Structure 1
C-alpha cells in the first residue's frame, strides 16, 4: 500500500509538471486566425496575482514552454500588456503564419523554490481558411444604442453549436438584449441593443470548440455628440484662419514686388531723360542801351535741374 501511494504521488507530481489547467488563470482553449492576420488573446487571473509578473510562452508541455514575451515587453509579432484593474492581461499577436500554430500559455510568475508558476493553455490554429473568424475583432457602440458583430464559420462547422459568450462571467447568450441569427451557410450575426457601460469588455464567438475573440467598447452618448459637434467647427475655423493669414501674406508679397518694380522703372526713366549736364541754360535775354535808359541790365534766366527733376529758375542781371 505504501509503495502504491508513493507511486501515485510521483505520477501526480509528474503530471502537474507537464500539465497546468488552472482555474486561477483562464482563457479560451482553442483560437483560430487567418494566415497573415492578427489576434488578441485575453488572459484572466485571480486578484491575488495583481502584482505578479505575467508572460506568454509557447510549448506543448507546461514545464518546458519557452517564454515569448513578458508583460510590457514586445517582439516583432507579440506584445503583452497587463490590466491589473480588470484582473487580466492581453496578448497581441500580429502577422501570424502557419508556423505560429501550436500550444501557448497565459502564465503568471509565482517565484520561490518548489512553487511552480501558474498558467493555462490555448491551442492556436493559423490557416488560410480558419474554422471561425469575425469581420472586425474590435467594435464600438454608443451607450443606449446597438452594435452588430458579423461572424463566419467554415463548411465543416456548419452543424456545430454556435455561441456568443462573455469572458467576464463566462456566460453565453442569447438573452433579451442579444439577438443571434445563423443563416446556415457560414454567416453568423450578433445584434446587441440597449448598450450600457457595463457591456464593454471581451467576448468570443465559437463554433464547436473553436473560437475567436472580439473586444467591445462603449462610448458615452453625450460625449460622442459633444466631440462630433465641436470637432468640425474647430477644424473649419482653424482652416479658415489659416487661409486668411496666407492670403494676407501673399497680398503683402505681391504689393512689395509691384512697389519695387515701379521704383525701379521710375529710376530708369529718370536716368534716360536726364541730359549730359546737371545745369541747363535757356532764355538768355540781352537788352542793349537806349536813350531813356543808358545803362540797360542784361538778364540771364538760368534753369537748373536737380536730381529730383525739380526745376529752379534764377535771374542773373548784369550791367552793360
Structure 2
C-alpha cells in the first residue's frame, strides 16, 4: 500500500449522516503506538498551513466516531494549534477496548471531501513493546537533551530511529547529522538490548516540536520544548557581588591601613619621648658655674639625674676660694685661676 496515496472506503459519521467517500491519504505509512494499560498518549496531527481554517477531527475506526477539534471529553481531548499547523489528540486511561485504528482527518472542502493526514494503530499492553522514560522533555537554546527509549527483547534487531513528525526526518543508531542546526546521536545502551539513548546537542528554538522513538514500525511520541538561553546567572551574581562588596572592601582596607599607621605612630612615640628625656638628662648632667671675671673660675659638678626625687634631700653648699686648691697656670707660668672640687650629696 502506497505511503502517500491510497484509496480506502470506510464509513465516517458526521452529525447524523453516513457518507461513503473516497479518501486521499497524505500521511506516513501506518505506525503502531504501544501504550501501557491505564496510561495516556498525545498524538500530533500536522496539517498544511492552507488548512488552518478547515475543520479537523479525530476518527476512531472502532466505533466509527469522530471528534472535532477544540472538544474535550472525559478521556479524550482534541485541541487545534493553528499557529503550529497541527492539532493534538490526547487519550487517557487507555484499556483493551481502545485497541484499533485511528485517523487524523481534515475536511478539505474540495473534490476529495476529506484528507487523512495521519493513521495509527493503538496497542494497549501491560508491558509496551516500545516506550519512553519521559514523553515530554525540555532544554535551553544552545544546550542539550537526552531521551531514553525502551523496547522489548523482540525488537533488538529492529531498526531504531529518532524521527520528527513535522518534516519526517529520521536519525538511526550511530548516526550524527551535523548538517542540521543541532547534532543528533543515537546509541544503543549497554543493558542487554533493552533501550537506546537519543542525544541532541546545540539545541535551537526551531527544534521544538514532536518526535518519536521507534523500533521497526512501533513507536512512542515525545514532545520537545526548547526555550531561550538563560542569562549567565553565575556571572551576574559575581558582578552584583563585586558592585556591592568591592567599595565596602576598599573602605575596610583603607580603615585597616589608617589603624595600622596610627598604631605604629603610638608605638614609636614612647621611644622618641624616652630618647628626648635621656637627652635632656644628659645635657643637665654637668653644669658650669662661672664666677665673675675678676674672681677665680670655680667649676662645680652637680648630679641631677633624679632632680625631682622627693626621697632625696637637696643640700646647698657655698664654694669659696679655698687655700691649697689646685691652681691652673698659663703657658707663661702665671696663675690664672684655681680649681675647687666640691661634692654635694644628700644629708
TM-based fold match above 0.5: yes
Residues 19, 186 of structure 1: CA spacing in aligned structure 2 closer, same or farther, 3 A cutoff? farther
Residue of structure 2 in register with 1:48 after alignment? 50
Instruction: Provide the secondary structure at the position in 1 that maps to 2:230.
Output: helix
| TM-score in terms of structure 2 length | 0.55
Residue of structure 1 in register with 2:185 after alignment? 179
What are structure 2's unaligned runs of at least 5 residues?
A: 1-6, 12-19, 238-347
CA drift at 1:41: 0.4
Contact 2:46/2:86, CA 8 A, preserved across alignment = yes
Instruction: Provide the secondary structure at the position in 2 that maps to 1:180.
Output: strand
Instruction: Deviation per CA, 1:32-83: give whole Å up to 9, x if none.
Output: 21111111101111222110111111016xxx8311x211101111101111
CA distance in 2, matches of 1:209, 1:65: 24
CA drift at 1:125: 1.0
CA distance in 1, matches of 2:30, 2:112: 25
CA distance in 2, matches of 1:90, 1:27: 19
Instruction: Provide the secondary structure at the position in 2 that maps to 1:211.
Output: strand
Matched, 1:118 2:115: yes
Instruction: Deviation per CA, 1:113-137: give whole Å up to 9, x if none.
Output: x752222421111111111000000
Map of 1:63-82 to 2, 5 A cutoff?
Answer: 65-67=64-66, 69-82=67-80
CA distance in 2, matches of 1:21, 1:28: 14
Residues 103, 18 of structure 1: CA spacing in aligned structure 2 closer, same or farther, 3 A cutoff? farther
Instruction: Provide the secondary structure at the position in 1 that maps to 2:25.
Output: coil
CA drift at 1:29: 2.5
CA distance in 1, matches of 2:43, 2:206: 20
Residue of structure 2 in register with 1:210 after alignment? 218
Instruction: Provide the secondary structure at the position in 2 that maps to 1:222.
Output: coil
Higher helix share: 1
Instruction: Provide the secondary structure at the position in 2 that maps to 1:156.
Output: helix
Residues 27, 143 of structure 1: CA spacing in aligned structure 2 closer, same or farther, 3 A cutoff? farther
CA drift at 1:187: 1.1
CA RMSD of aligned residues (A): 2.8
Residue of structure 2 in register with 1:29 after alignment? 31
Contact 2:23/2:113, CA 8 A, preserved across alignment = no
What are structure 1's unaligned runs of at least 5 residues?
A: 1-11, 230-320
Instruction: Deviation per CA, 1:190-219: give whole Å up to 9, x if none.
Output: 111111111111111100001111000011
CA distance in 2, matches of 1:33, 1:14: 28
CA distance in 2, matches of 1:48, 1:179: 34
Residues 151, 21 of structure 1: CA spacing in aligned structure 2 closer, same or farther, 3 A cutoff? farther
Map of 1:131-146 to 2, 5 A cutoff?
Answer: 131-146=129-144
Residue of structure 1 in register with 2:102 after alignment? 104
**Structure ID, larger Rg:** 2
Residue of structure 2 in register with 1:220 after alignment? 228
Contact 2:8/2:23, CA 8 A, preserved across alignment = no
CA distance in 1, matches of 2:201, 2:8: 49
Residues 220, 51 of structure 1: CA spacing in aligned structure 2 closer, same or farther, 3 A cutoff? same
Contact 1:141/1:219, CA 8 A, preserved across alignment = yes
Contact 2:159/2:216, CA 8 A, preserved across alignment = yes
Residues 13, 125 of structure 1: CA spacing in aligned structure 2 closer, same or farther, 3 A cutoff? closer
Residues 218, 28 of structure 1: CA spacing in aligned structure 2 closer, same or farther, 3 A cutoff? farther
Instruction: Provide the secondary structure at the position in 2 that maps to 1:198.
Output: helix
Matched, 1:57 2:70: no
